[in-house]
């Protein structure tokens, strides 16, 4: 196991987070995940361990873009290069689990994969053509009900929008998103979320979230582009899936890397390029960190734009 994997699996993320001021919420924690809050920033994180690789992983309830391994945790809070993250974390590698946490966090079991439970939960959700949360993210109904995205999301009884992830074995899990809420299906495995694809597609656009795919399409409207989302940093399982997709992609298809406009997005782009040969294009949102931020900016500009004299005359 290389050092980067050891950083992700050997350092107790709950213990490291405690050193940065996060406090255990024992009432909301369970055997498979730990809930921690920061008293100053009001950040709330959910920490667990990966079922396949044993990596400590987390996501922030307050920020849907804040998730991943302990490496991502440090970079989101400190910035800096991977070398700087390594200097920060290497001294933690040989310290005992839970040594500095009061009260002591229980040992986390690895996440158990249960695809049958994932399928049952997803089948209970409704097929919808619109969603209140997606509307609040400036996604238009005509995009959601288009042939490109019809049936690629569902809505559960709480109004959460569910984005299904699939791999060679079928439904692998699903993202659950709403206001101040981001989660992943218990028992699920992160794979890839897909838009609908068609035989004459000439581009595959890879993004970090399904909402970014919807946003990108709403702004560009490329009729011959399909979309896939990784839901953040990519695991070993996802790397294998992306490699298969790239190797099976015809030479005429361009792979558009539309990841976030930050260091993590650039790392993702380099990881994808290293998986297979192909024609790659790296694109960035002109404004904002991701495509949904840019979409909000564009929509706001259109609302605030001065009306043309012809439009004003019609109102008289």
Q: 262: exposed, middle or buried (C-beta count within 10 Å: 0-12, 13-18, 19+)?
A: middle
Contact 135, 75 (CB under 8 A): no
Enter the tokens of residue 230. 């990784």
Which of 3.40.50.720, 3.40.50.300, 3.40.1360.10, 3.40.50.1980 is the CATH number of 115-303? 3.40.1360.10
Comparing C-alpha atoms, which of 1, 47, 53, 43 is closest to residue 22?
43
Burial string for 96-108 (b: 16+ CB within 10 Å, else e) reads eebeebeeebeeb
- pTM attached to this predicted model: 0.66
Please tell me whether residue 167 adopts helix, strand or coil conformation. Answer: strand
**Residue 211 has what pLDDT?**
97
Q: Is residue 33's pLDDT more than 90?
A: no
CB-side exposure of 69: number of CA atoms within 13 Å? 22
Taking residues 154-180, report their average pLDDT: 94
Q: Is 236 helix (H, G, I), strand (E, B) or coil?
A: helix
For 208-225, how does the pLDDT look when each residue is reduced to its tens digit (9 = 90+)?
999 999 999 999 988 999
CA distances from 269 to 8, 119, 177, 272, 275 (A): 21, 31, 24, 5, 10
Mean pLDDT value across residues 192-197? 97
User: Could you give the count of Cα atoms lying within 13 Å of 303 in the half-sphere of its Cβ?
Assistant: 7
In DSSP terms, 280 is beta-bridged to: 255
Name the DSSP class of 178. E
In the prediction, which pLDDT does 242 show?
96
Report the pLDDT value the prediction gives residue 233, as an integer from 0 to 100.
Answer: 82
- Cβ–Cβ under 8 Å, residues 67 and 86: no
% helix / strand / coil in the chain, to the nearest 5?
A: 35, 20, 45
**What mean pLDDT value characterizes the chain?**
87
The pLDDT value recorded for residue 106 is: 52
**Domain assignments of the chain as residue spans, ordered by start:** 3-92, 115-303
What ranges in 110-222 are assigned the alpha helix state H? 115-124, 132-136, 141-144, 210-220
Q: What local confidence, expressed as pLDDT, does residue 127 receive? A: 95
Q: What is the DSSP letter of 164?
A: E
pLDDT at position 32 = 73
Rounded CA separation 108/4 (Å)? 21
What CA–CA distance (Å, rounded) separates 313 from 316?
A: 5
Residue-level pLDDT at 66: 86
pLDDT in tens, 113-146: 889 999 999 999 999 999 999 999 999 999 999 9
pLDDT digits (tens, 9 = 90+) for 247-297: 999 988 999 999 999 888 998 999 999 999 888 999 999 999 999 999 999
């Amino acid at each position: 196991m290389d050092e980067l994997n050891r950083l992700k699996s050997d350092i107790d993320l709950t213990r490291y987070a405690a050193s940065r001021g996060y406090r255990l919420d024992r009432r909301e924690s369970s055997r498979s995940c730990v809930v921690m809050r920061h008293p100053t920033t009001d950040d709330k994180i959910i920490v667990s361990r990966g079922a396949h690789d044993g990596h400590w992983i987390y996501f922030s309830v307050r920020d849907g873009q804040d998730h991943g391994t302990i490496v991502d945790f440090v970079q989101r809070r400190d910035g800096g290069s991977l070398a700087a993250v390594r200097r920060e974390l290497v001294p933690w590698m040989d310290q005992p689990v839970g040594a500095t946490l009061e009260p002591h966090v229980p040992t986390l079991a690895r996440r158990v994969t249960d695809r049958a439970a994932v399928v049952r939960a997803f089948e209970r959700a409704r097929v919808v053509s619109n969603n209140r949360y997606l509307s609040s993210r400036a996604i238009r109904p005509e995009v959601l009900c288009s042939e490109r995205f019809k049936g690629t999301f569902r809505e559960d009884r709480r109004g959460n929008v569910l984005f299904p992830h699939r791999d060679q074995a079928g439904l692998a899990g699903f993202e659950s998103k709403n206001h101040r809420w981001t989660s992943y299906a218990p028992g699920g495995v992160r794979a890839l979320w897909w838009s609908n694809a068609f035989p004459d597609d000439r581009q595959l656009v890879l993004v970090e979230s399904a909402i970014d795919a919807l946003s990108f399409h709403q702004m560009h409207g490329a009729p011959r582009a399909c979309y896939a989302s990784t839901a953040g940093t990519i695991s070993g399982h996802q790397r294998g899936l992306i490699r298969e997709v790239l190797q099976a992609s015809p030479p005429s298809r361009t792979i558009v890397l539309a990841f976030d406009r930050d260091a993590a997005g650039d790392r993702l782009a380099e990881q994808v390029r290293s998986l297979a040969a192909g024609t790659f294009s790296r694109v960035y949102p002109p404004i904002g960190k991701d495509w949904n931020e840019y979409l909000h900016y564009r929509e706001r500009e259109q609302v605030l734009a001065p009306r043309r004299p012809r439009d004003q005359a019609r109102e008289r």
